[in-house]
Amino acid sequence: MAASLSTVAIARRALAGPAVALGLRGSGALLNIATFTLAARVMAPDEFGRLAMWFSALSFLAVAAVNGQDTFIARSWGEYCGRGDPATAIAAWRSGWRMTLVGAAVAAAALLGLGGSLTGLPDGTLRAAAAFLFMQTALHYSSGSSRVIAGFLVSESNREATWRVILILALGACALAGGVTAAGFFWLAAAGMAPAILLQLIAVRRALPAASSNRAVAEERGLWRARAGAMWASAVIEAAGQHADVMLIGFVASPVVAGDYFVAARIANIFLMLVSGLGAYVAAHGANLYFSGRVAELQNMFRAVVAAAVALAAPAYLMILLFGDAILSLFGERFAAIYPTLVVLASAAFVVAMCGLAPGVLLLTGLEAVYSRIVAAATAARIALSAMLAIAFGATGAACGWAFVAAPVAVALVVLCRRRRGVDPSVYCLISPPGPLAGEMRESSLSRASAN
C-alpha cells in the first residue's frame, strides 16, 4: 500500500511541472487570440492585414536579432552547472545579454534606416515598429535565460501573460476612445514587454548561484560563438518558415488574404504553443539531465510531458473540427469562410504537437548543426510549395503547402532523436519507449555533444 501511494505521489510530481507549463502556454495562446480578435474587430480589413504582415516580419527579425542566445544559454547553463562550474555559466549569461542588446540595437537601427520609402510605413509607425522589434528581441533572451536560471514559472508567466494582458487592456481603452492603428498596437506591445523583462531580471538576479571561481573564460568564447551561430541559423530558418507564409501571401495575393491566413494560423498555433510551453519546462532541466548522463530520467520527463500534451491537444483539436467556423466568427463574420484553411493548419499542427520536442532535443544535446541543415531544406521546400499553391488556391493552398512539409519533417526528427540520442519526445514513447543507450554509446554521444 505504501509503495502504491509512493508511486502515485511520484507520478503527480512528474505531471505537475508539465501541467503548469501547459497552463501558462495555453493561457498565452488564448491571450494571443484575444489580442488579435480585438484588433481585427476594430481595424479595417486592409489595416489589419498590414498589421498581420508587419507583426510577422518583426517577429522574424526579432528571432534573427537575438543571435541564437536564447537557445545557447539553455544549453550552456545546464552544461556548466551540471559540471559544477557556475562561474562560467554566469559568464555565458552575461555574454548572451551583450550579444542580444547589440543585435536588438542593430536591427532596430537598420529598420529605421530603411525609412518609409522602402518599408511603405509612415514615420510614426516605423518608429513604433523599431521599438517593438528591440523589446521583443530582449524578451526572447530574457525569457530563455530566466527559464533555466529562475524557472519556467517566472519565464513563461511574463513571456506569455504579463505583456499581453497590458496590451489587451490598452487596446480596449483605445478602441473605446476611437480606434486602433498599427503604430498604436506596436507602441503598446513594446511598453507591455518592459515590465515583463524587468520582472524576469529581478528573479534571475536573485537566483544566480554563488560562484567563487574567477577563472578566465576567454578560451570558451570561440566555442560559444560557434554554438550560438549554429543555433542562430536554425532559429532563423525555423522563424522564416513560421512567419514567411503571412508575408508571402500578402505579396502574391493581398493584405486582406494575408490577414485571413494570419487569423487561421493564430488559432492553429495553439498546438505549437502548447508544445513550446512543454519545451520551456524541459529546457529548464533537459540539458542538465542529458549532460550528466541521466538519460533515463530525461525519457521519463518526456513521458509525463507527452501525456499532458495529449490530454490537452486532443480535445482542442476536436473542438476546432466541430466549432471552427464559430471560433473564426469571433474575429468577424467574414472570417468564417476560411474554415477549410483552419482545418488544414490545425491538422498539421496537431501532428507536429504529437511529435513533441524533437527540435529542442537536437538543439540542447549537441546536434544543432544537423538540425539546422534539416530545417533549412524543409523551410525552403515549404516556402516554395506554399508560394505555388497560394497563387493558385489562396490561403487554403498556402496552408496545404505548410502541412505537406511540416508534418513529415516532424516525424523524421523524432526518428533522429531515437537513433542518435536514445530518447523519444513524441507520443510514440507512451507506446514503445526507446531502449536505453548502452554505456559506451552514451559516453561517446556525450563526448561528441560536448565537442560540438
C-alpha cell at 345: 493548419
How does DSSP classify residue 159? I
Region 295-319: what's the mean pLDDT?
83
C-alpha dist (Å) from residue 238 to 231, 263, 373, 383, 442:
10, 20, 11, 11, 29
Decide if 24 contacts 161 (C-beta within 8 A).
yes
C-alpha dist (Å) from residue 193 to 132, 165, 284, 342, 417:
9, 10, 22, 29, 35
C-alpha cell at 202: 529581478
Decide if 230 contacts 368 (C-beta within 8 A).
yes
Region 254-278: what's the mean pLDDT?
82
pLDDT, tens digit (0-9, with 9 covering 90-100), for 155-208:
888 988 899 999 999 988 887 877 788 899 999 999 999 999 999 999 999 998
Q: Determine the 3-state secondary structure of 85 from DSSP.
A: coil
For position 437, what pLDDT does the model report?
Answer: 45
For position 86, what pLDDT does the model report?
Answer: 86
Query: 314: which residues sit within 8 A by CB, 6+ positions away?
Result: none
Residue 442 has pLDDT above 70, yes or no: no
pLDDT, tens digit (0-9, with 9 covering 90-100), for 222-252:
677 777 776 777 677 767 666 777 877 887 7
Q: Which of 11-20, 147-156, 214-223, 422-431 has the lowest mean pLDDT?
A: 11-20
Q: Could you tell me the pLDDT band of residue 296, with boundaries at 50, 70 and 90?
A: confident
Average pLDDT, the chain: 81
Give percent above pLDDT 90 in the chain. 26
Handedness of CA 150, 156, 162, 163 (dihedral sign): positive
Decide if 303 contacts 91 (C-beta within 8 A).
no
User: How many domains is the chain built from?
Assistant: 1
Residue 135 has pLDDT above 70, yes or no: yes
Q: Which domain holds residue 42?
A: 2-451
Question: In 10 A of CB 328, how many CB atoms?
Answer: 23
pLDDT, tens digit (0-9, with 9 covering 90-100), for 113-123:
988 777 888 88
For position 62, what pLDDT does the model report?
Answer: 93
pLDDT, tens digit (0-9, with 9 covering 90-100), for 423-441:
888 888 888 777 554 333 3
Decide if 287 contacts 364 (C-beta within 8 A).
yes
For position 138, what pLDDT does the model report?
Answer: 97
Decide if 228 contacts 99 (C-beta within 8 A).
yes
Question: In 10 A of CB 31, how many CB atoms?
Answer: 17
